[in-house]
Each structure stands twice: as structure tokens, then as C-alpha cells.
Amino acid sequence: MPAGGYFALGGTSGAGKTTPLRILGLLETPAAGEYRFNGESRSTLSDRQLSELRDRAFGFVFQQFHLLPQVTAWENVARPLVYAGVPHATRKARSLELLAKLGLANRSHHRALQLSGGEQQRVAIARALINDPEVILADEPTGNVPQELWGQVLDMLETGWR
């Protein structure tokens, strides 16, 4: 798949959408066949190399969001920047800016568990975008987002948020 490309996978419930996304994102091992990312075979990478590559190259929007429930919205968004070694003040400023673009300026300091499903999904989208990853893997990313924001969310997933 060429850089800048956009690829959508459709199918009924249980058809197999989440599973291939998890394989592409190096979260699951394929039962058969070989997966190469940028020419490098998955099977040659150690667990540590896999997790470094995952943090560096991929942004995930999980179907079940997987936010840290007791942590504020902005700190959930900022998590990939912690792994990338970005200083606290920059992490906070960037996260608040992105949350504002997603209509969540007034929810940034709420803990994730206090947010509605649609708000949590937008936090999960922001977390996937914050680090400008090479690849964004998004599992039904607008399922809970209000329809008036669909265009904006899909634009951001395609071209980045800045």
C-alpha cells in the first residue's frame, strides 16, 4: 500500500475486520503466512522491537476504545507522546489543541470513564492521531461519533490533524 493511501475493509459482524487490523498492527501473530512491514518480516523481530515499532509507526483506534478509565481525556491522548519522550508541557498543549478540534475542549480534564461513548471514541481517535503515525488503524472509528463530525474525523484520519 503506497504512502498517503487510504484503505477500508468492510464486512458483516464476525466476517474478520478486527482480526486483520490487529495482525497489521503487530498486536497478533498470523496463524499462517508471512507479514512484512516496510520490508521487514514480523517473525524476525523480538518482542521489544515489536513494541518499539508499534509505538513509533502505528496509531490505533480500537473498536472498544481501550482508554485508561481513571485518567483524564487529555492524558489519554498524550500517552503516545510519553513513549516518544515529548516533554510534559508540549504533550499537554498538543493534546488540548487536538481535543478542541474534535469538539471536546470542555471535556479535556474529565476522566475517561466520565465521558459518553461518542466522546470516548473521539478521545481514542485523538490518541491515534497525536503522534502523526505512519499508519493509522481505525476499527469502526465513526460508529459512536455524531454524524456531523464524520467528515472531519475521516479527513483527519486521511491527512493528519494539523
**Which phi and psi angles does 24 have, rounded to 5°?**
-60, -35
Q: What dihedral do alpha carbons 50, 55, 61, 66 form, nearest 10°? A: 90
Q: Smallest distance, Å, CB 118 to ligand ATP? A: 18
Which partner from the list ligand ATP, Mg ion, none does 13 bind, CB cut-off 5 to 8 Å by kind? ligand ATP
Length of the chain: 162
Out of 2, 4, 10, 11, the residue judged to bind ligand ATP by CB under 6 A: 11
Residues 70-109 binding Mg ion (CB under 5 A) are none
> Footprint of ligand ATP on residues 51-80 (CB under 6 A)?
63
**31 vs 98: CA distance, rounded Å:** 38
CB of 155 to ligand ATP, least distance (A): 24
Stretch that binds ligand ATP, among 11-19, 38-46, 54-62, 83-91 (CB under 6 A): 11-19
Question: Which of positions 7-36 make contact with Mg ion (CB under 5 A)?
Answer: 17-18
How far apart are the C-alpha atoms of 75 and 12, rounded to whole Å?
34
Q: Report the candidate in 128, 118, 63, 117 with the shortest Cα–Cα distance to residue 95.
A: 128
Q: What is the Cα 131 distance to its own chain's centre?
A: 9
- Least Å distance, CB 103 to Mg ion, is 25
Residues between 112 and 151 that touch ligand ATP (CB under 6 A) = none
Contact residues toward Mg ion (CB under 5 A) are 17-18, 63
